[in-house]
């Protein structure tokens, strides 16, 4: 942790002139302000500059394990599945200047990411998959985070057996990482319900639980609710970098 904080501090100096951010998020004044200030972000800058290793198509694992809570079985989700997610909408709201609502077709039109990366679960298994989808930075640039915005909170359809909803969060720096995507496809096929259909977060620079499945809302906020995620609220690390 000490080493990470040290690297974070030195990375902040480089960050202002970083040319890696070509996804448009830089054009937003608020995001630029957040990106150019290490204040309060600490470790997040490491993930921003480090790229997750990419693999060849031939490295893809034929079986990609399903993990976590059960696939939602409530009538809302199952009727979305039956309709091929025609009624699905992704809401981007909260501390933004331009709240957005995207249909699945609109998200597909924005899709530009396609990479083979490894998913690492904290429980000790990994799987290599080919992920395609929308760089999260693109959506944030459209929504324009408001002054004071710091985080993206991912709200999910599924719940623990006690009724607690699964959620996750990233700060705006990690959200703008070029490998942070809202995935629509795994291994050249639309996500199946078990892997988070129709839209899931995919963050290859962080542990598996950060990659929230079944996402229906991105809430931009100045502060985190609780510790920033379902598992974080049980004591797991928030940043969880690999
Ligand atoms: N909504 C939601 N997202 C989730 C989980 C979950 O239970 N609910 N589990 C997480 C964990 S611990 C892992 S390892 C991955 C598993 O993704 P997979 O089922 O596609 O392999 O999803 C993550 N995202
Ligand atoms: Mo996991």
| Residue of 131, 153, 209 with the most ligand 1 atoms within 8 Å of its CB, for mutation | 209
Structural domains in the chain plus CATH codes: 52-231 (3.90.420.10)
Q: What is the pLDDT of residues 32-80, one digit of tens each?
A: 665 555 444 444 444 556 899 999 999 999 999 999 999 999 999 999 9
Atom of ligand 1 nearest to the CA of 186: 20
Which whole number is the average pLDDT over 104-128?
A: 98
The string of pLDDT tens digits covering residues 142-157 is: 999 999 999 999 999 9
- Give this prediction's pTM: 0.86
Q: What is the pLDDT of residues 45-55, one digit of tens each?
A: 445 568 999 99
For residue 166, give the nearest of 176, 175, 157 by alpha carbon. Answer: 157
Distance (angstroms) between ligand 2 centre and the Cα of 119 equals 9
Percent of the chain with pLDDT over 90: 79
Q: 123 CA to middle of ligand 2, Å?
A: 6
Tell me: pLDDT of 111 over 90: yes
């Amino acid at each position: 942790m000490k080493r990470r904080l040290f690297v974070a501090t030195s990375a902040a100096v480089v960050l202002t002139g970083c040319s890696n951010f070509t996804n448009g998020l830089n054009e937003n004044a608020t995001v630029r302000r957040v990106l150019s200030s290490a204040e309060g972000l600490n470790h997040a800058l490491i993930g921003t500059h480090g790229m997750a290793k990419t693999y060849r198509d031939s490295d893809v694992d034929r079986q990609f394990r399903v993990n976590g809570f059960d696939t939602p079985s409530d009538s809302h989700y199952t009727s979305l599945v039956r309709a091929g997610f025609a009624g699905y909408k992704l809401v981007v709201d909260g501390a933004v200047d331009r709240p957005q609502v995207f249909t699945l077709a609109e998200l597909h039109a924005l899709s530009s990411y396609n990479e083979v990366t490894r998913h690492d679960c904290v429980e000790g298994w990994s799987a290599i998959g080919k992920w395609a989808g929308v760089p999260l930075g693109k959506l944030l640039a459209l929504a324009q985070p408001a002054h004071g915005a710091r985080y993206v909170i991912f709200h999910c359809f599924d719940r623990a057996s006690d009724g607690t909803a699964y959620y996750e969060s990233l700060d705006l720096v990690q959200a703008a990482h070029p490998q942070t995507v809202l995935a629509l496809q795994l291994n050249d096929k639309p996500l199946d319900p078990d892997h988070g259909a129709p839209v899931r977060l995919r963050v290859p620079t962080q542990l598996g639980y950060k990659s929230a499945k079944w996402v229906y809302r991105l809430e931009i906020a100045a502060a985190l609710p609780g510790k920033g995620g379902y598992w974080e609220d049980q004591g797991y690390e928030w940043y969880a970098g690999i």
